Amino acid sequence: MDRNAVGPSFHERVRRTFSVGASKNHQNGGAHEATPLLAGDSLGGSHEHSETYDFFLNSHYTPGADSSKPWVRIPATVWHIAKATLLSNYVNVLLVFVPIGIIAGIAEWDPVTVFVINFLAIIPLAAVLSFATEEISVKLGESLGGLLNATFGNAVELIVSIIALRDGQYEVVKSSMIGSILSNLLLVMGMCFVFGGIANMRDGAGNGQEQTFASITAQTTCSLMTLAAASMILPGALSIVLNQTLDDKEQRDATILNLSRGTAVLLLLLYILYLWFQLRTHHNLFGAEAAAANVESLEGSGPVATPAQVEDEPEEQHMSPWAAGGVLIVTTILVSICADYLVDSIDALVDRAGLSRNFIGLILIPIVGNAAEHVTAVVVAIKNKMDLAMGVAIGSSIQISLFVTPFLVILGWMMNRPMNLHFETFETVSFALSVLVVTYTVQDGKSNYLEGAMLMALYIIIAVAFFVTPSGALDDNSL
């Protein structure tokens, strides 16, 4: 299929919204929505700034990178890659905690200190992972780019969970999976509705209005999330029946484990089918055309804010795919090291701070992996690009529930670890209720700040409930 024939994909539109370089229509203008973090010329354009500026602050060009002399070109290229990566996001100022966190882990500092420092270190590393993934996706096309984003979009949660799975901390793994879903469905989407609704509260006549998004996206996603909730409830329901009819605990555990592994395989197949549905066969239902059609259908039901459009302009790159791949590999290694020290310090944090493993996995770890996505979703919502905001928030939830969680079950199978889909009772109930609330909230294809406040309130209630629960009280409380 010709990629140009189907229009820009979701990931392409996100990149254009957050393009680090100025578009051709604004090269001589002031600041606008595509203005870079530290403004620079577009790739391949003229370099009107001084060489000092280009060397230190231009994320698109570095003097010497195009030199014919290898001893000049190679160091300049390496510096360009590092510079473009560092300037890709404001949160990268926290990268200073990466070496400190590694030193703290090697030197065996106080475990709570090690946890906090590595917690802060992983936040910018997650942003760098996202940046490198998007740089590679530019050249891969819709299908491969979508798969790459699916794989690395939640890489931090995946790495932390793999390390916790290796160490046998199954409560942390399961809590972090549900926590990532809840943070995206309730906190991120709620913040998008609140800040987007306030920023676009009135129309030209001063009347209150609502923001809109493609309802087909919300409906399809909510159906998938309901299925994911069912896949977590059914093993627990079966466990209740087996506890009453089967005395052999090992046989009960084996039955639940076999059900979980079979369900995980089906969920992974369903996720692949969902990607094919979204990126190939029904891409028109998830793009700008669907949003425009949704606005037309809602015009008679009350004032709605017309979604802002993303111009179909050439995508800009800051480095080659090979360079971005190198950044991806280095960042993944650093995340693994920091995550290893973070997971190793959880036991001490539980003992000394009195926090439960469920709270750490459900609330704290998702904050690390989703910080960059949170900011992205809120900013595009303020710009009245709700389809992009919903894609960031809901898309990440789909990846966790249909890809990351079943992948961890399969990986545990390979590692001979009894990882299953038998979640703690209160976590399962919280997840199921959240999916129900979100479904009722988004099914009309419209949003406002009151609905956002409702979603955020539910997330805070769940967070407080796990925070006040004593450590260890939920460890053996499974359905």
Of the pLDDT bands very low, low, confident and very high (cuts 50, 70, 90), residue 395 is confident
CA nearest neighbour of 268 among 176, 415, 151, 370? 151
Tokens of 474: 């939920």
pLDDT at 56 over 70: no
pLDDT value at residue 463: 92
CA 449/CA 200 separation, integer angstroms: 10
Q: How far from each other are the two terminal CA atoms of the chain, in whole angstroms?
A: 47
pLDDT value at residue 262: 94
- Per DSSP, helices labelled H in 187-286 are 189-199, 215-245, 249-276
- Exposure of 174 in the CB half-sphere (CA atoms within 13 A): 24
Q: How confident is the model over 183-202, as pLDDT tens digits?
A: 888 998 999 999 998 988 87
Domain extents for the chain?
Answer: 3-20+88-468
Of the pLDDT bands very low, low, confident and very high (cuts 50, 70, 90), residue 259 is very high
- Exposure of 434 in the CB half-sphere (CA atoms within 13 A): 32
Mean pLDDT value across residues 339-367: 83
pLDDT at 160 over 50: yes
**Residue 123 backbone phi and psi in degrees, to 5:** -60, -55
pLDDT at 388 over 90: no
Q: H or E element: which one contains 212? A: strand 210-212
Cβ-contact 137, 145 below 8 angstroms:
yes
Count Cβ atoms below 10 Å from residue 284 Cβ, excluding itself. 13
pLDDT value at residue 356: 79
pLDDT at 29 over 50: no
pLDDT value at residue 411: 93
Regarding predicted confidence, which is higher, 70 or 380?
380
Regarding predicted confidence, which is higher, 413 or 425?
413
Give the mean pLDDT of the chain.
Answer: 76
